[in-house]
């Protein structure tokens, strides 16, 4: 049985064997790094509850973005390749839908500050699948003046892929020439503080459930008798059957309770740590708790979601299309209907103001109100109260009549 009958051959079209690697591979030396190597983020970071919530918030909201394949021409914009549009909009690969695809890409990007997407193509060079790569280690290599990335996965297998077949999204892309800087130096100390506080809180709760004290005997007893007295006290009173929590002792024995009050971080200290982590991922508490208003959502979209959309659109465009296809106007971009998150009064005002100018079609207006499209809804309605500015100038100068300014012919 072929043990590699799974994602390796399905995605890359070959098994992770040394024979599949290009010959004469050498380390690629960039301007500032002799070894261009990146490690995936540690499990500790993503397993922290608060960090995961922040990353999930980014990924969930970014996954709402809608991919558009279009072609920019002199007369405007028209729809692009329908097969590529279906691939991006519905099922980028056989393992996930479009929402899950974007969610996974953004999760890897936020967790590791590097996200790779492998572009599988058919014999004609047409994209047939887009696969986010969850690697353990990535390394830039070179062979015959061609750039490659060698991925090492969690099971130890390796796969070497040409860089031109990969979309590469980076975060904190500063010190390194090729990789986004990892979270090790900046985020790990904050997560460590949260973990310490959580462990301390758990220990405090556990200690509060335990009875601790000293049994003082008012008469002289041998060590063996003292030990028997202790064991009898524990057996009789420190068990689940003692629901009342009351111990009965005679005058010969006295119980002295030892109070243990462990110190835990207060709310203000915890808030400082959480705010640092939220700032790191550019999310606010209102966004995390989904209690934002339209102004807060607009700020979050413009500062966080829109940059992700630009990154993703530009990288897919330059890696999927050839230089000639890009030159004739082929583009991929991601958009979101931000008006869906506005208040009802704002939606009504905007549609009333924009539709008379032909800026919205009927279906675009319906989408703002979360209504399904209707047949013929791509038409744009324009008010007859508005005319071309050039015609208005000519009318005022007396060069044309009223009928011509309104779109008709001037009468004799």
* SS3 annotation, 335-402: ECCHHHHCCHHHHHHHHHHHCCEEEEEHHHHHHHCCCCCCCCCCCEEECCCCCCHHHHHHHHCCCCCH
Q: State residue 59's pLDDT score.
A: 96
292 and 231 housed in the same domain: no
Q: Is residue 81 part of a domain?
A: yes
Question: Could you give the number of structural domains in the chain?
Answer: 2
14 and 155 housed in the same domain: yes
153 and 219 housed in the same domain: no
pTM above 0.85, yes or no: no
**Better-predicted residue by pLDDT, 47 or 229:** 47
Q: Is residue 289 part of a domain?
A: yes
Domain span at 238:
213-257
63 and 144 housed in the same domain: yes
Q: State residue 397's pLDDT score.
A: 63
293 and 155 housed in the same domain: yes
Residue 2 has pLDDT above 70, yes or no: no
Residue 71 has pLDDT above 50, yes or no: yes
Q: Is residue 395 part of a domain?
A: no
198 confidence band (pLDDT: 50, 70, 90): low
Residue 47 has pLDDT above 60, yes or no: yes
* CB neighbour class for 328 (10 Å; exposed up to 12, middle 13-18, buried from 19): exposed
Q: Is residue 306 part of a domain?
A: yes
Q: State residue 1's pLDDT score.
A: 42
Question: In sequence order, what are the residues at sequence separation of 6 or more whose Cβ sits closer than 8 angstroms to the Cβ of residue 284?
Answer: 278, 292, 296, 300
155 and 223 housed in the same domain: no
155 and 121 housed in the same domain: yes
DSSP category for residue 28:
P
Q: Is residue 139 part of a domain?
A: yes
Among 161-170, 236-245, 261-270, 390-399, name the one with the lowest average pLDDT: 236-245
Q: What is the pLDDT of residues 7-21, one digit of tens each?
A: 777 888 776 766 567
65 and 167 housed in the same domain: yes
Q: Is residue 303 part of a domain?
A: yes
**Mean pLDDT in the chain?**
80
Q: How many angstroms separate the CA atoms of 96 and 88, rounded?
A: 11
Q: How many angstroms separate the CA atoms of 102 and 72, rounded?
A: 24
Can you read off the two tokens belonging to residue 119?
A: 């572009």
Mean pLDDT for 336-348 is 69
70 and 148 housed in the same domain: yes
Mean pLDDT for 360-389 is 78
62 and 180 housed in the same domain: yes
Q: Is residue 316 part of a domain?
A: no
Q: Is residue 378 part of a domain?
A: no
242 and 302 housed in the same domain: no
Q: Are 146 and 91 in contact (CB under 8 A)?
A: no
35 and 160 housed in the same domain: yes
Can you read off the two tokens belonging to residue 319?
A: 């890696």
Q: What is the pLDDT of residues 227-249, one digit of tens each?
A: 776 677 666 666 545 554 555 56
């Amino acid at each position: 049985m072929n043990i590699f009958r799974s994602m390796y051959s399905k995605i890359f079209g070959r098994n992770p064997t040394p024979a599949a690697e290009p010959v004469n591979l050498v380390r690629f030396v960039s301007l500032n790094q002799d070894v261009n190597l990146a490690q995936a983020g540690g499990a500790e970071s993503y397993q922290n509850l608060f960090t995961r919530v922040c990353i999930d918030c980014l990924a969930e909201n970014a996954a709402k973005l809608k991919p558009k394949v279009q072609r920019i021409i002199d007369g405007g914009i028209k729809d692009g390749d329908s097969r590529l549009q279906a691939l991006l909009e519905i099922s980028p690969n056989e393992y996930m839908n479009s929402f899950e695809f974007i969610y996974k890409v953004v999760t890897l990007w936020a967790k590791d500050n590097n996200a790779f997407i492998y572009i599988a193509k058919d014999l004609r060079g047409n994209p047939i699948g887009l696969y986010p790569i969850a690697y353990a280690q990535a390394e830039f290599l070179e062979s015959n003046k061609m750039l490659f990335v060698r991925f090492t996965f969690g099971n130890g297998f390796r796969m070497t892929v040409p860089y031109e077949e990969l979309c590469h999204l980076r975060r904190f892309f500063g010190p390194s020439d090729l990789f986004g800087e990892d979270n090790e130096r900046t985020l790990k100390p904050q997560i460590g503080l949260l973990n310490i506080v959580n462990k301390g809180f758990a220990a405090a709760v556990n200690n509060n459930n335990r009875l601790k004290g000293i049994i003082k005997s008012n008469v002289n007893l041998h060590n063996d008798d003292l030990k028997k007295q202790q064991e009898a006290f524990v057996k009789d009173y420190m068990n689940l059957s003692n629901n009342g929590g009351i111990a009965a002792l005679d005058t010969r024995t006295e119980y002295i309770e030892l109070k243990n009050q462990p110190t835990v971080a207060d709310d203000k200290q915890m808030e400082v740590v959480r705010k640092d982590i939220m700032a790191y991922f550019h999310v606010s508490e209102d966004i995390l708790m989904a209690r934002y208003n339209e102004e807060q959502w607009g700020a979050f979209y413009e500062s966080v979601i829109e940059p992700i959309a630009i990154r993703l659109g530009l990288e897919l465009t330059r890696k999927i299309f050839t230089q000639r296809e890009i030159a004739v106007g082929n583009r991929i971009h991601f958009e979101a209907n931000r008006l869906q998150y506005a208040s009802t009064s704002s939606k009504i005002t905007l549609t009333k103001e924009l539709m008379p100018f032909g800026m919205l079609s009927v279906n675009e207006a319906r989408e703002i109100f979360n209504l399904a499209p209707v047949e013929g809804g791509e038409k744009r309605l324009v008010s007859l109260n508005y005319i071309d500015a050039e015609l208005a100038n000519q009318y005022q100068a007396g060069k044309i009549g009223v009928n011509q300014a309104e779109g008709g012919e001037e009468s004799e």
